[in-house]
Structure 1
Amino acid sequence: MGKRVALSWSGGKDSCMAFDLLVKQGYEVACLLTTVPKEIGRTFGHDEKTELIELQSEALSLPLHFVRCSLDRYTETFIEDLAQLKEQFQLEGIAFGDIYLDGHREWGENVADAVGLPALYPLWSKEEDSLQLLQNFIESGYKAVVIRIRLDVLDDTWLGRQLNEDFYVDIQSQTLCPMGEHGEFHTFVYDGPLFTHPIPLTHGEIITSERSKRLDIQPLIN
């Protein structure tokens, strides 16, 4: 297995945990990949501003590549960009932060195979291990805030909450995956052991869509 890898990056806790584990296992993360559908203009995974992802890449001292795709050519564009990055960074693998959803893993393995790379899943676990993974994140020293929730499982009081021990206790009273693997909630990581500096944030308005609510976080500029 090669050691120089790209990492699919959403900006949230899962991709951050994957990054941390990869480094501890001796991999060199050469670059971050974040998908940005042209129709949305924000990140695909969390509907986040691209400048916030750029601030993360700067704080992590890692190159960042936006896969700018249309929704109807999402996979094809991802493969095309990954092939170019393979040559540019001499990649020997690509890593994903998925935990236990087989369909997500199958997609990642297929796109990796299309360009001749192995796919790594450092967080891969059983569904019943999700609560322990949440605890691992909280104890890791990384700091994250909830930026998006699914309307059918959580109310907007969860928006803006920190992933801490209180969150760990309260999430267990809800009927959902404690790690939000089914999209129940999404997070933004703004500080931690591999960050060269924290990303100061301010909370803006709450934006409601058909299925979710999103907290419009902004970088705090001094």
Structure 2
Amino acid sequence: MNILFWSGGKDAFLALHFYKQQHPRHKLALLTTYEEKTGLVPHQQLPISHIRTQAAALDLDLHLVPLPRKCSNEFYLREVNGKLDEQTEPVEHLIFGDRHLSDIRQWREASWKKRGYRTLFPIWEKNIHELLPVLQLQPIRITISAVEEKYQSLIRIGETYDQAFVTQLQHLPEQIDLMGEHGEFHTKVSFADLSEQLV
């Protein structure tokens, strides 16, 4: 069994895409942490109902871990590890959508190495010129779900994340990572069903 940490946004989707390319026969499930009081995924600000819809569209099992709004790393690890321990099959890989924040990667690697898990980062150091075309070829729609306060005059919640959006960011005087890697904005992935309606 392999567990992909799923936020509901584009980076998690890309990690899923590249992992499945590399390991098409591996059994996979999703794990999502969320704020227990609001029922929202942190950062992306997505309701758990949307995460459930995504998992159903992907035909993947979903494991949910409720957390308080503010919790220590130790509490986070205890709750997540508790969920991992509940798995009926041995967990081999933990998969993350980090791209180039080395401190976060190092923390993940160190934290889970102690428990014998191998951590994988399928989109590590891939640039937007490689990733954006992949997103554009998928039957999905990506929209902005949250924006850091200081960028709210430049980026609107609900905007479509596509080539036009990226080009717009490139022409702004402010330095904004084109994939929002530093938390400037977060995204939501919606999947097309058989009738081509987005969910």
1-side partners of 2:196 and 2:89: how far apart? Answer: 27
Q: Unaligned 5+ residue runs, structure 2?
A: none
Question: Retained in 1: the 8 A contact 2:3–2:91?
Answer: yes
% identical aligned pairs: 27
2-side partners of 1:155 and 1:198: how far apart? Answer: 32
2-side partners of 1:141 and 1:188: how far apart? Answer: 14
Q: Which amino acid aligns with 2:50?
A: L
RMSD between superposed Cα atoms in Å: 2.3
Q: Which amino acid aligns with 1:82?
A: L
Three-state SS of the structure 2 residue aligned to 1:36 is strand
Question: Retained in 1: the 8 A contact 2:45–2:145?
Answer: no
CA displacement 1:106-164 (0-9 Å, x = unmatched): 232133223211000000006xx345433442344532111111121242752211122
- 2:67 is matched with which residue: 69, 72, 79? 69
Equivalent residue, structure 2, for 1:99: 99
Q: Unaligned 5+ residue runs, structure 1?
A: 202-222
- Using CA pairs under 8 Å that are at least 6 residues apart, name the structure with larger relative contact order, 1 or 2: 2
CA displacement 1:180-207 (0-9 Å, x = unmatched): 0111111111126xx7776635xxxxxx
Equivalent residue, structure 2, for 1:134: 132
Q: Count residues in correspondence.
A: 192
Question: Retained in 2: the 8 A contact 1:14–1:97?
Answer: yes
1-side partners of 2:15 and 2:34: how far apart? Answer: 20
CA displacement 1:29-86 (0-9 Å, x = unmatched): 521000013344311241211000000000000000111123242222122222333x
Equivalent residue, structure 2, for 1:22: 19
Over 3 Å counting, the alpha-carbon distance change for 1:163 and 1:95 in structure 2 is: same
2-side partners of 1:30 and 1:66: how far apart? Answer: 15
1-side partners of 2:27 and 2:156: how far apart? Answer: 32
